[in-house]
Structure 1
Amino acid sequence: MSTTPDEATADPSLLCEEARRLAEGGEPEAAARLFEQVLRMGEGPHRARAALGLAVVLDDVGDVAGARDADWIAIGTEDPEYGPRAAYHLALLHERAGERDEAARAWRTVVDFGNPGYLPPALLALAQLADEDGDFETARGWWERVIETGNPQYAPVAAHDLAQRLLERGEPARAQRVLTAALRMIDRETSPYAYARLATAIGIAYLDQAIGAFRTVLEDEEAATDPEVGPLATELLARTLPLRGRAEEAGEVWAQGLTRSAVAGQVRARLRRGFGERDEDAEIPWWEPVVESAVADGSLPALTGEVFGALDHIYALAALRHVQGPAGDPAETHQVLGEAIRVPDDYWWGGLLHESFDDRARRALGPDTPER
């Protein structure tokens, strides 16, 4: 394409600067015209910059096809700075359009340039695409390359993602090593969130390692029935599993421990830890086996909620009848109801139960309702 005399004598560097100023000032169409003028000048050191600038402003005005073409012009110059930047921009365009294969191609182009400023995010994007496809080995390769860059922004993210998959695959020791190495890249003072995220993941990795170690002990029948080892390993495994959302497995661990006659008594004592002292000769209250079962299968919070819900309902029925007065009831019945509603007074949660009833009674009977 021929150029006009003005175009032939114009300084492409000044044109690019003026185009940038126009783009930042909210005049993308005018900026596009100047970038196109630089491109019409043919090959030169400013061609890549102009092509990338054109891609950005065309994207801003909604000309996605034109933006992609301009990105490829910049990539074709093989400029070590603007080439990878254009490939990066092109990858984002494809991702925004949901074009995964084309996005992957653009990210690989960024990687091929090898510019350290754009390499880490491109590698991470490729890892995430492979991970979404369920291709762990490919994703792992990309994640490891991100980590190798030592980039403080992207390497910890890659380490966290890789560690998560390793944990899911039952490789907590490898996950812990990946995370520990990544933690050294982070300045705790300047990046507290990133540091806390990795530190938490390391803790989870240690938990999974502990679960594996305790389970190994219990898989050895001799160790599992050793009074010095088996009951302790049973309790530690059963109490750690719920922390990883595996309460059902915890119940199975307790149940298995209680079937081993050599250590069943010690296992039950550990299961009942915190129940309080009870006279060995005293009759076991009917509710204790229910509580014991709830502790074993991790449903104690649900059981507690059910019990307090039932108590609140029964208490409200008794207290309301007492507040309404003895009309129609024998004095003895009224007295018994009064004694019943005073039972919770000795418990630390008794005041909360009373407040709950007072509020319900005022709403039901009016503000002049007498106290219990």
Structure 2
Amino acid sequence: MSEPADTASASDDPARLCEEARALAENGEADRAALLFEEVLARGDTPHRARAALGLAVVLDDAGDVARAREADRAAIATGDPEYGPRAAYHLALTHERAGEHELAAPAWRAVVEFGNPAYLPPAHLALARSADDAGDFDAAREHWEAVVATGDAGYGPLAAHDLAQRLLERGEPARAQRMLAAGLRLIDRDGAPYAYARLAVALGISYLDQAIGAFAASLGDPADPADPEVGPLATELLARTLPLRGRGGEAGEVWRRGLSDPGIAGQVRARLRRDFGGEDEDADPADLWWEPVVEQSVTDGTLPALAGEAFGALDHMYALLAVRYADGPGERRPGETREVLGKAVRVPSDYPWGPLLHESFAERLRLAMGTAAPNWPET
């Protein structure tokens, strides 16, 4: 008995076959779906060829047959279909990206761009930007990053703005970085994507820091020339205190040292350097306190936390030595033990760079008070 005419016609309809294949794939019947997609492809250059090829590529990829999936993607791309062509190129690029084959993914991403379908341009341009960036081609990368931002895509645009801004900051172009970051921020719904907004906002703040660093450095001029006595001290402090925020503490130390060596501004620079010291007698001479030069140098070098750690470490060690003996009852101490423990505590600072200064200070105080020199215990 022959099949009804309308049934035979439906089974021959490529659009109907593609729909059946899609339903089968969604229900987990990948093999049957692949057969139907292949049947459509076997019919040659039909209007549904691109759709069937892409469907076959997805089914095969899900089944682990990546090589045949890529062939199907290329077949869909070759049709030039404005919808399924870029989707197939996108899928092909992802198979290469997933395998870490970024160089092979690049041609597929370029194919996506050539199709010009707005739905797939943002990820394609972003991938090409990162590929060019990895290759060291900044100009090409910048064009693709800018193209992503120009699409207005809220997902990929902020990522591109951040990546490009980072490179611009590295190249010493904070003003351009600011414009790109501002454009990226306009694409984000702050309430809907608070973390993405915060990421760009922080980068924008960093760009202003870099711009400020450039302005402060420019105001100081050539290091070989004397600084302006009016703005030099302020510019020195602002530059020296801003540089560490960008991880440039070594440069900050050089800025302080330059200011302290300039006779025209050295006094004001030292006052600014010491503005946080506090607690000292206005009539006292800091030079009379052995630790003042140590603290001042550590502020200049940005090593004050390390110095504080050393001081507290020495205090902790000395306290432990003395406290253990204090906790023991007098009857439990052997003769001479107290002096021995005190000697160990006195020697603790000797291992620190500032230890000799402490010993010299005590020796001088003892000489003035008793008329005798202190024992040379650091070397004992």
TM-score, normalised with respect to structure 2: 0.82
User: How far does residue 34 in structure 1 lie from its aligned partner after superposition?
Assistant: 1.7
Larger deviation, residues 18-27 vs 250-259: 18-27
Unaligned runs of 5+ in 2: 1-6, 346-380
The alignment covers a number of residue pairs equal to 333
Aligned to 2:63: 61
- How far is the alpha carbon of 1:313 from its aligned partner? 1.7
Give, in angstroms, the shift of residue 181 of structure 1.
2.0
TM-aligned CA distance change 1:310 to 1:19, over 3 Å: farther
1:226-275 deviation digits (Å, cap 9, x = unpaired): 33311110010000000000000000000000001111111111111211
Which residue in 2 is equivalent to 1:293? 297
Paired with 1:6 and 1:213, the residues of 2 have a C-alpha distance of: 79
- Any stretches of 5+ residues in structure 1 without a counterpart? 341-372
Deviations 1:22-61 (A, max 9, x none): 2223332222112112212222222211110110111112
Taking the aligned partners of 1:244 and 1:73, their CA distance within structure 2 comes to 51
What secondary structure does 2:288 align onto? coil
* d(CA) in 2 for partners of 1:247, 1:291: 16
Q: 1:109-258 alignment to 2 at 5 Å?
A: 109-219=111-221, 225-258=227-260
State the Cα distance separating 1:9 from its structure 2 match.
4.0
1:272-326: CA deviation from partner (whole Å, max 9, x where unpaired): 1211142343453222222211111111222222222222122111111111222
Q: Cα RMSD over matched residues?
A: 2.5
Q: How far 1:220 moved relative to its partner?
A: 5.3
Equivalent residue, structure 2, for 1:275: 277
Letter in 2 for 1:42: G
Q: Does residue 325 of structure 2 align to residue 321 of structure 1?
A: yes
- State which structure, 1 or 2, has the greater radius of gyration over its C-alpha atoms: 2
Q: What does residue 311 of structure 1 align with?
A: 315
CA distance in 2, matches of 1:311, 1:14: 85
Give the secondary-structure state (helix, strand or coil) at the position aligned to 1:187.
Answer: coil
Match of 1:24 in 2: 26
Q: What percent of counterpart residues are identical?
A: 69
CA contact (8 A) 2:220 2:228 kept: no
What is the Cα deviation at residue 221 of structure 1? 7.0
- Counterparts of 1:187 and 1:318 in 2: how far apart (Å)? 61
- Residue 376 of structure 2 corresponds to none
Which residue identity lines up with residue 56 of structure 1 in the other structure?
V
Is 1:46 the counterpart of 2:48? The answer is yes
Report if aligned partners of 1:7, 1:37 keep a CA contact under 8 Å in 2: no
Stretch deviating more after TM superposition (245-254 or 24-33):
24-33
- Counterpart of 2:358 in structure 1 is none
Structure 2 match to 1:85 = 87
CA displacement, residues 53-92 of structure 1 (integer Å, 9 cap, x when unaligned): 1101111122111011100111111111110000001111
- Provide the rounded CA distance (Å) in 1 between the counterparts of 2:32 and 2:160: 41
Instruction: Tell me the amino acid that sits aligned with residue 323 of structure 1.
Output: A
- TM-score in terms of structure 1 length: 0.83
